[in-house]
A and B are shown apart, each in its own frame.
Chain A
């Protein structure tokens, strides 16, 4: 913010960091400097080397070459403890908190020596409360982690780092799990932190955050720094171009042509879902916005056959199906792109070919109980070619593929069956810009071919950009349908935070 940033003290310097994994150069002579009071955004596609770089900085990996200097002192390589002691605090994407302990216990965990256990509690409490107040991190120190929301847990992680006297905060995709309002609060905290002389590195995919809240942007591509610019001297298009290496036009999606209702839910209760009423129409992308963990997984499971309705009615093409299971769903023309492609979408040790027929081996590729592997192989080659899956071939283990290529194979597996109903649960999570555009294009193509698409995403931009109709899910409740453009981002954010539901339900009734 202040024009004298570049003259401020350098608190962290990475010098010519190089890291190879076999033939892959994950980090190629990366250098960067962080100044006191600066917010540095680290941008890059997936696989660009951001996480590797942060893991080296934090001592989880050993660099093959290069050095790290913090506050003028060289940081010994490969020692997370040294990084902590030097005042570097990391807030991981996946929190590292003990659910059964309180906020205070989590924060002080590991900082007390064995001898002083139990003492110094009041001091610790006072310190946590002071930090809470100074940095705008409102959270009850005596609450159990299990009872906290995702946003609150992140605040605890930040408090934990601050409690350990961190002078440099590193946040790995901090807003991925937050509502727009929570994200705004987070950036407010970061501003308070830099005002007190702390420095921040945050990793992000979201260009508007980077533009709105950083002083400097460093863009990585293929393990190299391709650009370091002052944020005020650049714009979103320039950054996107740097990330992918080419100027990208922002896609605008034409509205779909609504067809008949393919699937409808009437007052369905199932797992965490409460009285959900929903229509999925052919030729329509129905977007489901919401903060993760509010029932999206249950809704996807329900339509995908993994969860049975406890009450209410579910109709597929106007008829109630007597048996509901993943197999019944697939047979009824439901295509499923699962939320977690590693854990539910694929079998890591299986080949691409085996993964390509996980759902269809018995129906399309078997004769008398034997799998026709030659046909499977041909089918997989078609998918690889048709969906631009970059891989060594159908016999390669799928675990070797990047997330984007894995997702393209899943996409091909689902699309080849020409589903009438398509559930895409977080279809672009963790993908790079190129793969995101590809997946979105395919979803729109499926819609234009007449499919009823349910797009579940935590990224509000994605939902607003693609959907013809939007529902918001909060604590298992579904909002009424909003036409495209009917609500602003802020209004949707309020629904995501749970406002409006009581009223919405009476309206619907």
Chain B
């Protein structure tokens, strides 16, 4: 068995293999359910109805997708320029901290939301600026620095919530005081539990798409990511492009934390993010780093999580199945995409 490159993959190959990957994922999921002692078809049905079965379920999926769109975009932007930002989790918490600092009475009605959003963006950008400067100046691997910043940030948030930002009325729980009503993101439609963070995420996706396809900066980002030697030879300011990419990526990830605090939760706690920053990597990879694709895959991933939660409650299968499902989906998808470019030859 050998691999041979396929020069021009057919449309069937390009669409069929990812579809096959999805089918394989479902099969594995059913096998996992069987292992857990449940009826696989029932489990699958419950995941589906849990994610999409009611208005409430759909809204929950959309809410859950919101931070994933932001972190997915953050990763997609960075990875497109081959800047390996693994630190979306830390940048997310930077945005969340800003939302609390500025949203608990420091600023009043018309200013608090735009100002805190802008400052959050800046905070996330600054947090990624340090690793990227170390990368372009000293050649320090950004995978290591951004990854480690996640742990530093987690401990820093833990310190804040046990100290300066601890809610005095919180009965000892490590959580921040609640944001003032002015600092909360309003709902998109009255009475429906979906906040404007989702709308902003969609707008952000469109903006990122426009930047990547229409602007000189986007052209430079894609060129640096595809062939840094050619970009440098053509006279592109490669280091400046990487820095700008980092600012955009870090800012987007910070908006995830900002919108979770200002929109969904209303306060900061240690469980604000169940790994949205890391899941953003899966979201971006499944979307093949396409900004609009990120919206679709974020909805898919959120649906799997929300559906698995609901299924777990009624079928008694652990929610870890959602993590496994996503991991399996990613593996199959990566394999499927790779196989669109090569074919297996017997011999």
Alpha-carbon distance between A61 and B216 when the two chains are bound, in angstroms? 42
Interface residues of A in 374-413 (CB under 8 A from B): 400
Q: Are B232 and A326 in contact (CB under 8 A)?
A: yes
B214 near A370 with CB under 8 A, answer: yes
Q: Which residue of B lies closest to A346 (CB)?
A: B230
In the assembly, what is the distance between CA of A336 and CA of B232, in Å?
Answer: 13
Q: Determine if A78 and B230 form an interchain contact, defined as CB atoms under 8 angstroms apart.
A: no
**In angstroms, how far is the closest chain A Cβ from the Cβ of B304?**
30
Cβ of A284 to closest chain B Cβ, rounded Å: 25
- A1-51 with Cβ < 8 A to chain B: 21-22, 24
If A62-B347, A305-B235, A359-B235 touch, does A369 touch B216 (CB 8 Å cutoff)?
yes
* A372 nearest CB neighbor, chain B only: B214
Q: Which of B230, B231, B345 has most A Cβ within 10 Å?
A: B230
B233, A326: Cβ atoms closer than 8 Å: yes
| Complex contact B227–A348 (CB within 8 A) | yes
A60 closest partner in B (C-beta)? B2
Q: Mark A81-92, 1 if CB is under 8 A from B, else 0.
A: 000000000000
Is B215 a contact partner of A371 (Cβ separation < 8 A)? yes
- How distant is A63 from chain B, measured CB to nearest CB, in Å? 11
A22 touching B7 in the complex, CB below 8 Å, given contacts A327-B235, A344-B233: yes
Q: Known A354-B219, A362-B216, A371-B215; judge A344-B230 contact (CB<8 A).
A: yes
- Summed over the interface, the residue pairs from A and B with CB atoms below 8 Å come to a total of 74
A361 touches B216 (CB 8 A): yes
Question: Is residue A450 contacting chain B, with contact meaning CB distance below 8 A?
Answer: no
Number of chain B residues close to chain A: CB under 8 A? 25
Please tell me if A373 contacts chain B, counting CB pairs below 8 Å: yes
| Interface size range on A against B | 35 or more
Closest partner residue, chain B, to A397 (CB atom):
B8
- Provided the pairs A22-B8, A78-B2, A361-B219 are in contact, do residues A371 and B226 lie with their beta carbons within 8 angstroms? no
- Interchain CA distance A371-B218 in the complex, whole Å: 9
Cβ of B235 and Cβ of A325 under 8 Å apart? Answer: yes
The complex places the Cα of A304 from the Cα of B8 at a distance, in Å, of 35
Q: Which of B214, B215, B219, B222 has most chain A Cβ within 10 Å?
A: B219
Q: Establish whether residues A344 and B229, one from each chain, have CB atoms under 8 Å apart when the complex forms.
A: yes
Residues of B within 8 A of A (CB): 2, 4, 6-8, 214-217, 219, 222-223, 226-227, 229-237, 345, 347
A sample of 14 more A-B contacts (CB under 8 A), given A358-B231, A400-B8, is A78-B2, A327-B237, A343-B227, A344-B230, A358-B234, A358-B236, A359-B234, A366-B216, A369-B217, A370-B214, A370-B215, A370-B216, A371-B214, A371-B215
Q: A residues bordering B, Cβ < 8 Å?
A: 21-22, 24, 61-62, 77-78, 304-306, 325-327, 329-330, 336, 338, 343-350, 354, 358-359, 361-362, 366, 369-371, 373, 400
